Structure 1
């Protein structure tokens, strides 16, 4: 047998220096995060949290679960747009389970596991090429984040979210951020409508600019899903909070979650909500509502989609055995 040998490329001083410092800096970041979360947890009245959780009514949890189901279906429909985008003959019964499973794994185990690896595995079983899987993934990401830009732009620029005094980013600056986000969304729509060049190639993957109609649908569905996520949290938080405020805080916490790269944004979501809303409601009631949100929106769908995934794998295995036998 022949052995493949790799040609060693001498590392540049800058690259080796970055590699040497990357691991200790990452470790230092997570240690600092643990300290901050510990300090955050020490300031919470956990007796109030447990009491609030015990007082949740079944009707409230059912409403939150219904909104969660609707949100997951909306997110899974991003891939239905992808079917039109790649022009492949797949039924909605084939696509929706992939979207639901991927979203649940994405939320709980990071985008690499759910959004990317799970989609590649499931779509490859449906005969979709790697290039088209990449297109579906790209379109789904664009739908999610351009939808975010649209709804965040509206909420931030309208002044519905007032940041506490002492924050480095003032409420006026947040309105400016909202205006920039709306401009970015409008720029995307303008490009889809007026751009003469419709195709690009990025690392061997062909990217096609969607039609204006598809782009509008992307923005609407993406914004709708973020609105539904906020509606789930709003249902579980104290009743005196206004929905636009809850939506705005969720949108701010989403950026914090992306920056920290922590799976499911553990602790980040809670810290942002408590920091921004502790003058509106008690810390214990806020944490209780967010813990219930994690159970309803993260853990319960994960348990359901794990069963769905096992069923899909079992069907695929049975199909392979049947093909070998025939």
Structure 2
């Protein structure tokens, strides 16, 4: 049997089993979330939510704004990468709108579809839009690798007793993530081949300076996300611990492909921190985080998007000959 035929057979088998396995996985999640909900003291959740101080909510909102601005700067790197003269006033709204839709409605809607629509209105070609998108993804996940690698390998996060993934194994994962991020930097500095063509789109390795900026901005954004959660969770929790749990939950969210990681974030935080704080106080903080970091920015981004569309329509009307 040829290798090509074997590969086709494996691909067919994967497609055949993918749907039932996905359904089974979602059913398992529903069961787990139902069991978790029964173990929550909901009176404590509502009491904690009502006790939030306005100053705390303002701090969380300010950190959220900083995080969105940092994420939008990913696209400023992309502007330099494609070498197209776009103003930062044009770039930042696209990044903010895309991020808000990405968080709530999946990467396909926010990260891809929204970017293609908004950048095409700015006269950016599809090939360059794909480059900006690719660089943004690289910035986010290589920044994640650098930060998660440092946090996990340092031993700041300890897994609860009885978990299959031990604290030592988590440190090993951290070392691998550090090596992966260092490998990216080494490739940007020493690789002789700088360009590849994938489906007609040319991919170029950035300079070492740009790659270092990617890792710094990506790590900063994840750190700010953790700072928002840390502000809203019980005061006795340490920031490095909250950061580590967020980084673990991010992987769970990617694996499940649930928009906004709905329920996954909460399940991971409660599972890993319930020996540090009550389940009710943890869930209350995470509900507030959802409202401030996900829902509120989505409403603002929706208004921004409608304003961009209205402006574009007005420009089309002006250009139409009488």
What interval of TM-score do these two structures reach, taking the shorter chain for normalisation?
Answer: over 0.9
1:181 aligns with 2:141: no
1:157–1:20 CA distance, 2 compared to 1 (3 A): closer
2: CA distance, partners of 1:258 / 1:24: 19
Give the alignment partner of residue 289 of structure 2, picking from 293, 306, 323: 293
1:20 positional shift: 4.2
TM-score, normalization: structure 2?
Answer: 0.96
TM-score, normalization: structure 1?
Answer: 0.94
Question: Deviations 1:43-78 (Å, cap 9, x if unpaired)?
Answer: 110000000000000000000000000000000000
1:15 positional shift: 5.6
1:22 positional shift: 3.4
Alignment size in residue pairs: 315
Question: Deviations 1:23-49 (Å, cap 9, x if unpaired)?
Answer: 333222212211111111111100000
Matches within 5 A, 1:117-132: 117-132=113-128
Provide the residue aligned with 2:258 in structure 1. Answer: 262
Give the alignment partner of residue 161 of structure 1, picking from 132, 157, 161: 157
2: CA distance, partners of 1:214 / 1:22: 38
1:312–1:213 CA distance, 2 compared to 1 (3 A): same
1:314 aligns with 2:310: yes
1: CA distance, partners of 2:19 / 2:284: 35
1: CA distance, partners of 2:281 / 2:156: 22
**3-state DSSP of counterpart to 1:179:** helix
Give the alignment partner of residue 191 of structure 2, picking from 192, 195, 220: 195
Provide the residue aligned with 2:167 in structure 1. Answer: 171
Provide the residue aligned with 1:110 in structure 2. Answer: 106
Question: Deviations 1:267-295 (Å, cap 9, x if unpaired)?
Answer: 10000000100010000000000000000
What CA RMSD, in Å, does the superposition of the two structures yield over aligned residues? 1.2
Provide the residue aligned with 1:147 in structure 2. Answer: 143
Provide the residue aligned with 2:131 in structure 1. Answer: 135
Provide the residue aligned with 1:5 in structure 2. Answer: none
For structure 2, list consecutive stretches of 5 or more residues without a partner in the other structure.
1-7
Matches within 5 A, 1:1-326: 18-325=14-321
Runs of 4+ aligned structure 1 residues displaced above 6 Å come to none
2: CA distance, partners of 1:20 / 1:214: 42
1:44–1:16 CA distance, 2 compared to 1 (3 A): same
1: CA distance, partners of 2:19 / 2:267: 25
2: CA distance, partners of 1:104 / 1:276: 27
2: CA distance, partners of 1:45 / 1:148: 33
1: CA distance, partners of 2:11 / 2:155: 44
2: CA distance, partners of 1:19 / 1:211: 39
For structure 1, list consecutive stretches of 5 or more residues without a partner in the other structure.
1-11
Question: Deviations 1:248-272 (Å, cap 9, x if unpaired)?
Answer: 0000000000000000000100000
2: CA distance, partners of 1:276 / 1:22: 29
**3-state DSSP of counterpart to 2:320:** helix
1: CA distance, partners of 2:90 / 2:215: 24
2: CA distance, partners of 1:14 / 1:273: 36
1:191–1:37 CA distance, 2 compared to 1 (3 A): same
